[in-house]
Chains A and B, each alone.
Chain A
Amino acid sequence: MTISAEPRHGLGTRLAALAKVVELGQGRVDPELLDEATQLLLRAGNRLKLSPDHTVVALAGGTGSGKSSLFNSVSGLELSPTGVRRPTTARTHACVWGLEGAAPLLDWLQIQWRHRFARASALDKGESQLHGLILLDLPDHDSIRALTDNEADRLITAADLIVWVLDPQKYADAATHRRYVAELAGHDAVTVFVLNQADRLTPEEQAICVADLEDLLEREGVANPKVVATSATNGKGIDSLKAVLAESVSARRAGYLRLEADLDKLMLRVAKDMPDVLHVEPTVDGARRVGLTDALCDAVGAPAVGEAIENVYGVRSIDWVGWPYARWAGRLRPDPLKSLRLGDVKDDIRTLVGGSVRAQPAEVDNAVQALSDGLSQGMPEVWQDGIRDAARSRSGQLPKVLTDELGEIAPPLDRVPAWWWLAKIWQYLLVLLFVAGLGVTGAIIAYGGFKTGPPPTELLGDLDVLPWVLLMMVSVLGVGLLSAVASRNFVVLAAGTERDRLERDMRRRVSGVAQELVVEPVERELQRYNDYHEALNTAKY
């Protein structure tokens, strides 16, 4: 698209913005509207490229209103055949004042060669003020022929200035007003109304007619309608029409104004559902990120895993670092499971606990949904859907990724730390010591007390050693107990640390995953929305 020259800057910017609207609006705006916008862009591009010195004026109107007569009157030549049969004109005729550069424009307008006429010199008959005028005599738009022919429609869309040729009989026809005039209500600057065949009315009647027509047009939203009463038969009013045309032609702005009006009208429709001022924050704010991370952590069960680590380690460590005597004593108690003959429930539990935790897909969905709901508040529905779809775009892989992340950092619940072995060995050593102490005590009592035989060593026969040995055994028990308690505390402490670390790591990783899989697509969509909104506002005003 080429946008030329300084004075068109406003329109150029707006058209560029419209192009952006079209690009960003795909799938968000009614395709028909986008289509229209594309058409407008195309038309604007072509029109701005083609001779800016010419003004295309279309004489439009119903059949029998005298378009061709008026065309001939203005051009001063019998160029377009007139007649009493309806409809008369089937092909558009064009008359050009000032030929240079007009040909490509006429090509673009698809005017057939044989229907193109030129005023030989722009200066003849002192019509220099019309230099640059391309006058089109359109076919009608309301006869039965027009039902199958859109030539009038096409050129009404393409012309820079439209002159509606009405007559006393047909000036209030729905075919003209509903389909065109009311539709083009914003095009005041580039629309002129001609009440032709004024010779059929008395001056009083003409005044009534013109007033009535003006009323009607104002009711339809045409601000300050320009109504010129003419008569192609007796030439009255033709000069006023020429003056109106000359004014528009010399200003060379009709094409520009026309496109502007088209753009205004289109933008009103495009922007219909868009709030005037709603710039969304293009980034997902901290609170929402935290919310999402929390929800995803919950979905993967990270806090629960942390707690489970603490509890399960605490319980399991008893088997390893606990005081063996207490354990042995516990085994002596009757086991209800045995009486139920449930078999290896403990193995089951071990298997269960050994399993890794996976993310709960439903909760992941809900977390993502909550985020997009919160973000898209106040946006038009179609954009809300867009945000939601963006948020979900990769949520299919989210549960799996979360599960993997958790699996990487969460220790299995049935893990056995090395120091548990040491503690266990230590405890058993202590047990051995205690057993040895028992042995020594027994030996001392046997040899020293009952003199069953000569003691293998001096020491075993010496009863005086006994208290020391007993003392040592008590100490061994005490040490065992103490180290069990200490180990247990260490286990709890370590599990607590583990849990904290897990939760911290998990949060970090989950937020990373969320950033990549959820937040980024959402932010792209938010940015798109903002860009669209901005382009829309630029194109609108």
Chain B
Amino acid sequence: MNDQVDEGPGEQTASFRAIRPDDPPPDSTPEPVINSAAVTAAKAKVLPAQEGSAGRKSESAWAHLSVSSTPAEEPDPEPGAPSASESDAEPGAAESDKTPAESEFGESDEPRSYFTPPSRTKAPRDSASDSPPRDAFTPIARANSPKREPDSSIETASTKEDNSVSSPATHPPKAGSGPKSDGLTDRPDDLSDSADDATLDDIADQVADSADPEPFAADSPEPEKPESRSVGHFAASGSTDDTRWNIPRDAAGSPQASGTFTEPVREFTEPVHEEKLPTTVSAALTSALNQLREAVTGLHFGLDVPGADEARKAQAAVLTQLDDYVIPRVHMSTAPALIVVAGSTGAGKSTLVNTLAAQQVSATGVRRPTTGTPVLACHPDDRDWFVKGDLLAGLTRLDKPGEGAGVDSIVIAPTERLPQGVALLDTPDIDSVVEEHHQIAHRMLDAADLWVFVTTAARYADAPSWGLLRLAKERNARLVIILSRVPVKSRDVIVKHFVRMLDEYGLGEVERFVVNETAVTNGRLPDDQVTELRMWLAELSVDDQRRTQAIQMTLNGVLNSFRNRVPALARHLETQVALRADLRSDVDSAYMSALAEIDEATRNGSLLRGEVLARWQDFAGSGDLMRTLQLRRASKSGQHGPERLRALKGALHTGLESVITSAAQRAAEEVVTRWRQRAGAGDKLAAIPGLGRPTEEAVRRTARMVTSWQDHVTELIRTEGVTKRSVAKLVSFDVQSLSLIFTVGLLGYGTTDVSVGSGNSALPQRLLRGLLGAESLRSISAKARSDLRARIGLLFDDETLRYVDALDSAGIPDEAAATRLYQATYNLEVAR
């Protein structure tokens, strides 16, 4: 035994080196195949023994293993079970004949997406020739594989493996549906039959010393191997594989073994494995990822557009995932695989992890939700990696769950019972009332290399569970489903139903395990419930290639998901930028039209109404207008009605002010009205109190502004209104009055730069033209008007500021950020 142990890892190492394409010795090629096949055999063996025909009858991924092993076993120990299944359903039996061949490769678990479609489609096409299509490819695979293996390169071998994996995975549910119906009645027989089975002896052993499961693990595959493996010459190497996954458990007890099992671990850090990512690629990828990270970090979604919350969450998720997972994982692609156990509250995640870790690493209980802090269970030798590594670097490492545990902590619990190279992470639930738990769980899943989804017999139809499955599917993450807490008596019905649902959902080919509802002691299940799982973990631990592939698959899935997720962020940002621009242009156009309104009011004579007109009539009618112009000689008598002058000036002031105020009021209302019509962000911003009316400050400033403009006009008249020489000899005029007349002419009669010249103009113009000359009047008019416009513009600009402030308070989206995101996504694709 120990010899084997010593030998095993050494051989494995050799096989790994051999895998490298540059070194393809023909004899080393079968070995990866052997690894998986042997382990499969072991697994297939254990299952029927452990669960009786229930396991066998429940078709699907786990079922086909047991079914497949049964016919092979048939000759020697046990006639009962196979006969039952054969008599029920011929097709099922026929299939099960073939399945052993599948199981050679079937459990290698390589991600389908990894391989090119042609190789995948090829198998079914071949198979169509000799048997019903669904079952057909298995014989082909069997027939072909021995032939191909020796002469094909490693790549093709692995491709074939993939074929065979995908094909059985698609059909088992149907194959199993036949015998299924009889499963209930047959069960007792099967159970007793299987007790005779050679495998059951192993189980018995195992149950006997459940504290130390290694005997069964070591033993059980051995009788199985020759049976399940139709290709006999792999048997020898297969046995070394078996010992290999059993090593870590052995390690605690045997110092001899410890030397050997550390070897693969060392190898993880060796460049040999890093070669998956050549340094140049890695550098490019790293820089692309950093670029992506920067681009995503720089995003700011300030406006509460519909979907902004989702976008913010998505942004945080992408960022966390980059930091927690993608960047560290790209650097250390073959480091221990992080298996994240996620699922509903009360599904038994912690119990499962405890059982697998064979110690109470995570608290269990009847309170829901139970686990609040993620607990990572790993082999002691992997502990450093997780404590110091970059994976989930943002989380505080704790030794045990306690008071200090918060949202950002993770408990790392080393346990000898877990194999090396795989770590189990127990997460909080995804569906309890404590919403932080969902976030933590999703964060953990984002950092997972493998997703283990745990659901129960009572929960498997819950919407949140399917949400998670959908996510896994979208991400193309490596997924394993565990149906837990299954009552033994209704196991078949439930499993069948669940499998059908999974099939309908397109997840029929996902690896699955069933755990019965049993008494939980000390936060653990009886060890026999998880034998299968333990073995699966062991396989994963042992089979570097497979683990690496699983890791790569999930990593690829995540990187692929960036193709959609990042552009989605960019699109949302563009929406925000566009919306912001719209909101901004709402403001601008509202105030532009207010300006135009004022312009119009000061041109069409509507200003010369009401009091202004009355005062003007008063001013003109009472002779003050005429008195403004005085003969030089009599210029002293300037005591004409200053109160009328003031009144006219005041009226003009009030009139102009009210035109501006009213326009500002309308503009403010217009902005709010328009903003309210903008979905999401607009109406929230519009609800900011006070935006619907001009500010107090604006009203005060309007008054001051009009006064200063009037002063400016007076000044213009004084400095530029040089009287025509011919006139100056005869007449002097009062600047104040003249500027008023000018203002009336400008605003009341709509004197424009153009119409000054026309003959049929109004009184003030004629008067002024007579006094100042057309040229001078025109220039003063133009100046005065543009000055007024500038002043109002300034005032309105300050008014618009508060809308811009309101917009900016939501944050200013960077318009180039979207482009950067697209660029980063593109670069990432190129770097891959």
Stretch from B288-296, B366-374, B418-426, B706-714 at the A interface: B366-374
* Alpha-carbon distance A530/B584, docked complex (angstroms): 37
Near B by CB (< 8 A), chain A positions 141-194 give 142-147, 167-175, 177-178
* Alpha-carbon distance A178/B767, docked complex (angstroms): 80
B588 nearest CB across to chain A (Å): 22
Does residue B575 face the partner (Cβ distance < 8 Å to A)?
A: no
Question: What are 11 A-B interface contacts by the 8 Å CB criterion?
Answer: A86-B458, A144-B462, A171-B368, A311-B621, A339-B731, A349-B620, A352-B621, A357-B614, A360-B655, A362-B663, A369-B662
Knowing A170-B458, A172-B433, the reply to whether A360 touches B346 (Cβ < 8 A) is no
Contacts of B431 in A (CB 8 A): 173-175
* Alpha-carbon distance A345/B628, docked complex (angstroms): 13
Knowing A336-B630, A360-B658, the reply to whether A62 touches B462 (Cβ < 8 A) is yes
Near A by CB (< 8 A), chain B positions 595-653 give 601, 606-607, 609-618, 620-623, 625-626, 629-631, 641, 644, 647, 651
Q: Are B459 and A86 in contact (CB under 8 A)?
A: yes
Does residue B466 face the partner (Cβ distance < 8 Å to A)?
A: yes
Query: Which of A171, A208, A334, A349 sits near B625, CB closer than 8 Å?
Result: A349
Does residue B464 face the partner (Cβ distance < 8 Å to A)?
A: yes
Does residue B119 face the partner (Cβ distance < 8 Å to A)?
A: no
Contacts of B626 in A (CB 8 A): 337, 345, 349
Query: Which of B611, B630, B631 sits near A304, CB closer than 8 Å?
Result: B611
B734 nearest CB across to chain A (Å): 13
Query: Which of B368, B621, B771 sits near A353, CB closer than 8 Å?
Result: B621
A interface residue numbers (CB < 8 A to B): 62-65, 83-87, 140, 142-147, 167-175, 177-178, 201, 205, 208-209, 212, 216, 220, 298-301, 303-305, 307-308, 311-312, 314-316, 334, 336-337, 339-343, 345, 348-349, 352-353, 355, 357-363, 365-366, 369, 373, 381, 385, 413
Select from chain A the residue with minimum beta-carbon distance to B346: A169
* Alpha-carbon distance A97/B717, docked complex (angstroms): 99
A387 nearest CB across to chain B (Å): 12
Select from chain B the residue with minimum beta-carbon distance to A308: B618
Q: Given contacts A167-B458, A316-B621, A357-B610, could you give 17 more A-B pairs where the C-beta distance is less than 8 Å?
A: A85-B494, A144-B463, A144-B466, A174-B438, A175-B463, A301-B612, A301-B614, A307-B614, A308-B615, A311-B644, A312-B622, A336-B730, A348-B762, A352-B621, A361-B662, A366-B661, A413-B621
Contacts of B654 in A (CB 8 A): 298, 363
Q: Are B763 and A362 in contact (CB under 8 A)?
A: no
* Alpha-carbon distance A316/B611, docked complex (angstroms): 21
Contacts of B466 in A (CB 8 A): 144
Does residue B796 face the partner (Cβ distance < 8 Å to A)?
A: no
Q: Are A209 and B458 in contact (CB under 8 A)?
A: no
A478 nearest CB across to chain B (Å): 27
Overall SS of chain A's interface: helix
Q: Are B433 and A173 in contact (CB under 8 A)?
A: yes
B567 nearest CB across to chain A (Å): 27
* Alpha-carbon distance A314/B611, docked complex (angstroms): 20
Q: Are B458 and A64 in contact (CB under 8 A)?
A: yes
B728 nearest CB across to chain A (Å): 11
Q: Are A345 and B366 in contact (CB under 8 A)?
A: no
Q: How many A-B residue pairs have CB under 8 A?
A: 239
Knowing A84-B493, A342-B770, the reply to whether A381 touches B463 (Cβ < 8 A) is no
* Alpha-carbon distance A357/B647, docked complex (angstroms): 16
Q: Are A362 and B659 in contact (CB under 8 A)?
A: yes
Select from chain A the residue with minimum beta-carbon distance to B687: A381
Does residue B461 face the partner (Cβ distance < 8 Å to A)?
A: yes
Query: Which of A172, A342, A362 sits near B368, CB closer than 8 Å?
Result: A172
Contacts of B766 in A (CB 8 A): 342-343, 345, 348
Select from chain A the residue with minimum beta-carbon distance to B464: A175
Number of chain B residues whose Cβ lies closer than 8 Å to a Cβ of chain A: 78
Q: Are B617 and A357 in contact (CB under 8 A)?
A: yes
List the 3 closest pairs (A to B, CB-CB), nearest first: A64-B458, A304-B614, A360-B610
Q: Are B459 and A308 in contact (CB under 8 A)?
A: no
Contacts of A170 in B (CB 8 A): 344-346, 368, 458-459
* Alpha-carbon distance A156/B793, docked complex (angstroms): 59
Query: Which of B459, B463, B487, B612 sits near A147, CB closer than 8 Å?
Result: B463
* Alpha-carbon distance A37/B665, docked complex (angstroms): 35
Contacts of A352 in B (CB 8 A): 616-617, 620-621, 763
What 0/1 readout, one digit per residue, does chain B (753-774) give for beta carbons within 8 Å of chain A? 0000000001100110011000
Contacts of A311 in B (CB 8 A): 618, 621-622, 641, 644
Does residue B432 face the partner (Cβ distance < 8 Å to A)?
A: yes
What 0/1 readout, one digit per residue, does chain B (654-674) give for beta carbons within 8 Å of chain A? 110011011101000000000
Contacts of A360 in B (CB 8 A): 606-607, 609-612, 655, 658
Knowing A201-B366, A352-B763, the reply to whether A86 touches B461 (Cβ < 8 A) is yes
Does residue B456 face the partner (Cβ distance < 8 Å to A)?
A: yes
Contacts of B665 in A (CB 8 A): 365-366, 369
Near A by CB (< 8 A), chain B positions 386-435 give 431-435
Query: Which of A145, A299, A312 sits near B618, CB closer than 8 Å?
Result: A312
Query: Which of A143, A178, A343, A348 sits near B461, CB closer than 8 Å?
Result: A143
Contacts of A83 in B (CB 8 A): 493
Q: Are A301 and B611 in contact (CB under 8 A)?
A: yes
* Alpha-carbon distance A311/B624, docked complex (angstroms): 10
Does residue B497 face the partner (Cβ distance < 8 Å to A)?
A: yes
Does residue B783 face the partner (Cβ distance < 8 Å to A)?
A: no
Q: Are A362 and B658 in contact (CB under 8 A)?
A: yes
Near A by CB (< 8 A), chain B positions 677-723 give 687, 689, 692-693
Contacts of A303 in B (CB 8 A): 611
* Alpha-carbon distance A86/B458, docked complex (angstroms): 7
Knowing A345-B766, A413-B621, the reply to whether A358 touches B610 (Cβ < 8 A) is yes
Contacts of A365 in B (CB 8 A): 658, 662, 665
Knowing A173-B433, A352-B621, A360-B607, the reply to whether A342 touches B613 (Cβ < 8 A) is no
* Alpha-carbon distance A107/B434, docked complex (angstroms): 39
Contacts of A143 in B (CB 8 A): 461-463
Query: Which of A84, A312, A316 sits near B490, CB closer than 8 Å?
Result: A84
Knowing A144-B466, A348-B766, A366-B661, the reply to whether A357 touches B613 (Cβ < 8 A) is yes
